Structure 1
Amino acid sequence: MSLRTFILCSSLWLAACATPRPAELPAPAGYYRVQSGDTLYRIARKYKQTVGSLARWNQLSDSSSIQTGQLLRIQPPSAGKTAGKANRPPPPKAVEKPAPPPAKLDIKLQWPVAGALLASFDGNRNKGVDIAGSAGDEIHAAAAGKVVYAGKGIRAYGNLLIIKHNEDTLTAYAHNQQLLVNEGDQVGAGQAIATMGDSGANRVKLHFELRLRGQAVDPVPYLPPR
C-alpha cells in the first residue's frame, strides 16, 4: 500500500470514528433511542408506560420489531407538545380589561330569602345564585310583577316560579316545596310566593335567577348589601 493510499484510508477511518453512529446520537425530549439488547417491554417498564401505548404512539404492528438506534416516542404526543411549549419563552400576558359595569336595572330588587349564599353565579353551570334555608321557609317576590310561569315542567328546576317585572326583567325561583301563587297572578314586592324545598335538587335551597332582556345575569350586584 502506498503512503498516499495509507494516509487517505486512515483519514476516512478517523472521520468514520468521529461521526457518531445512530445508536450513539442523543434522543430528543420525549423519545428514547433503542440500544442493543432492548425490548419494548423493558423500555415500557423503564419509562412507566405500557407496551400497548408505546406500540400505538410509534405505529408498531409487531412489538418485537424494534431496531438498535431506532427512535421511539416514550411520551404521549400531547405531552411532547406540552413539553416543547414549556421550553419556549411565554408570550407577554395580555392586560385584562376590567369587567363591564352591570346593566342598569330600572326596578329595585330585594333578597327573596335571608339565608346564606351556597353557590354564586358563574354564567355557565350556575346561571343564578343558590341560597340556604329550611324546608317550609317562606320565599318572597324580589319585586312586584306578574307570575308568568308556575309549575314543574323543567325537571332540573323542580317546582318553579317565574315573575315578569317589566318588558326587560324576569326573576326565577326554583326547587320550591309549595307554590303559593298561580300563573297570571299579580304579586307585590316582598309578598310570600312559595315555600322552600328540595324539588329537583339534592338539598333544601332556593335557586334564584335574574334575567335581563333574556340573558341570565348575576343578581347580587342588583340586591341590597347584607
Structure 2
Amino acid sequence: MLKLLTKSSVFISVLLLAGCFGGGNYAPVVERQERVSVASDSHKVARGDTLYSIAWRYNLDFKGLARTNGIKAPYTIYPNQLIRLKDSGSGNTQAKTKSRSVTPSAKAKTTKKTASSTKTQSTAKSVSSTVALNRSSYPFRWKWPAKGKVIRRYTSGSAVHKGIDLKGKLGEPVHAANSGKVVYAGSGLVGYGNLLIIKHNEQYLSAYGHNSRLLVKEGELVKVGQKIAEFGDTGTDKVKLHFEIRRDGKPVNPLGLLPKG
C-alpha cells in the first residue's frame, strides 16, 4: 500500500511539473505574433535604403510614404530610422519625425538638391523639379529597355508577376526606357539582384533587375535609350532582365506602354 501511494505521488508530481513547463511555452508565441504585427506597419532603415526603394518594396507611392513620415524632398533618411508604412491618422507625424535626433554621419542615402532650387520654398522646389523632369522626357514615350524576347509576361491575381522578363546574354546592354533620375542603385531588395530604379515624373517609376553591372549612380539624370546597366543573373537562376513600371506606387503592365513590335 505504501509503495502504491509513493508511486501515485511521483506520477502526480510529474504531471504537475509537465503542466507548468508546458504552459510556459504559450507566452513567447503570443509575443512573436505581436512583433510580426508591429513590423508589418513599419520598416527599419538599413544602410543603402532610399525612400523610393522602401516604397517599391511595399508597393507604396513614395509621395504618400513621405507624407506619412513627415519627410520632405529630397527625402533624406537614416540607418535605424523607423519608417511607418501606414498612416495612423495622427496630425503629429511631422513633429514626431523632426524631433528625432540623428547624426549626419549616419545618413543612409540622399538625393542632391539642384543648384537652381536652393533659394526657393519647399513647395516651389517640388513643382519646379517635376516640371524639369517632365520636360526632359517630353514627349513621354516609352522605349524597350533591351532587344531580347519576352520570356515571362506581367500577371496579376494569384500568380502575380509585377513586370516582364527579357531574354539576353551576359553583359548585353540595358537601356533606360524613358528619361529621368536614378533614385536607387543597389542590391538591397530581395529577388531583384543588382537593381536600378528610375523616377520619370511624380507618377511613373521604372525598375531594371538582375544586372551584372550598374553603370549609373543614384542622383544621376539619364536620357531615354541611354545604356544604364548590363544583363546578368544576380538574384536569379539565369541571365535575364526583369523590367517593371509603376504608376503611383502600383505595378502596371509594361506591354501596355511599350511600343508594339
| Letter aligned with residue 151 of structure 2 | L
Q: Aligned residue pairs: how many?
A: 122
Structure 1 equivalent of residue 142 of structure 2 = 109
Residue 163 of structure 1 and its aligned partner are, at CA, apart by: 0.2
**In structure 2, distance between residues paired with 1:113 and 1:187:** 16
TM-score, length-normalised on structure 2?
0.46
Structure 1 equivalent of residue 101 of structure 2 = none
Q: What per-residue deviation string (whole Å, max 9, x for no partner) do you get for residues 102-125 of structure 1?
A: xxxx82100000100010000253
- Please point out which of 190, 206, 210 is paired with 1:171: 206
Residue 209 of structure 1 and its aligned partner are, at CA, apart by: 0.1
Structure 2 equivalent of residue 136 of structure 1 = 171
Other structure's SS at 1:155 match: coil
Q: Which has the larger radius of gyration?
A: 1
Structure 2 equivalent of residue 224 of structure 1 = 259
**In structure 2, distance between residues paired with 1:196 and 1:107:** 25
Residue 129 of structure 1 and its aligned partner are, at CA, apart by: 0.2
Q: What per-residue deviation string (whole Å, max 9, x for no partner) do you get for residues 133-182 of structure 1?
A: 00000000001000000000012100000000000000000000000000
Other structure's SS at 1:157 match: coil
- Please point out which of 192, 204, 215 is paired with 1:180: 215
**In structure 2, distance between residues paired with 1:155 and 1:167:** 25
Structure 2 equivalent of residue 195 of structure 1 = 230
Contact 1:160 1:175 survives alignment (8 Å): yes
TM-score, length-normalised on structure 1?
0.53
| Letter aligned with residue 110 of structure 1 | K
Structure 1 equivalent of residue 115 of structure 2 = none
Normalized per residue, which structure has more helix? 2
Residue 221 of structure 1 and its aligned partner are, at CA, apart by: 1.2
**In structure 2, distance between residues paired with 1:107 and 1:156:** 29
Structure 2 residue runs without a partner (length 5+) = 1-138
Residue 208 of structure 1 and its aligned partner are, at CA, apart by: 0.2
**In structure 2, distance between residues paired with 1:119 and 1:195:** 19
Structure 2 equivalent of residue 147 of structure 1 = 182
**In structure 1, distance between residues paired with 2:255 and 2:224:** 17
**In structure 1, distance between residues paired with 2:230 and 2:201:** 24
Structure 2 equivalent of residue 205 of structure 1 = 240
| Letter aligned with residue 166 of structure 2 | I
Q: Percent identity?
A: 50
Q: What per-residue deviation string (whole Å, max 9, x for no partner) do you get for residues 27-70 of structure 1?
A: xxxxxxxxxxxxxxxxxxxxxxxxxxxxxxxxxxxxxxxxxxxx
Contact 1:123 1:217 survives alignment (8 Å): no
Over 2 Å off, 4+ runs: none
Residue 201 of structure 1 and its aligned partner are, at CA, apart by: 0.7
**In structure 2, distance between residues paired with 1:220 and 1:178:** 25
Q: What per-residue deviation string (whole Å, max 9, x for no partner) do you get for residues 45-100 of structure 1?
A: xxxxxxxxxxxxxxxxxxxxxxxxxxxxxxxxxxxxxxxxxxxxxxxxxxxxxxxx
Other structure's SS at 2:191 match: helix
- Trace 1:12-51 onto structure 2 (pairs within 5 A): none
Contact 1:145 1:163 survives alignment (8 Å): yes
Q: What per-residue deviation string (whole Å, max 9, x for no partner) do you get for residues 178-217 of structure 1?
A: 0000000000000000000000011000000000111001
**In structure 2, distance between residues paired with 1:123 and 1:217:** 9
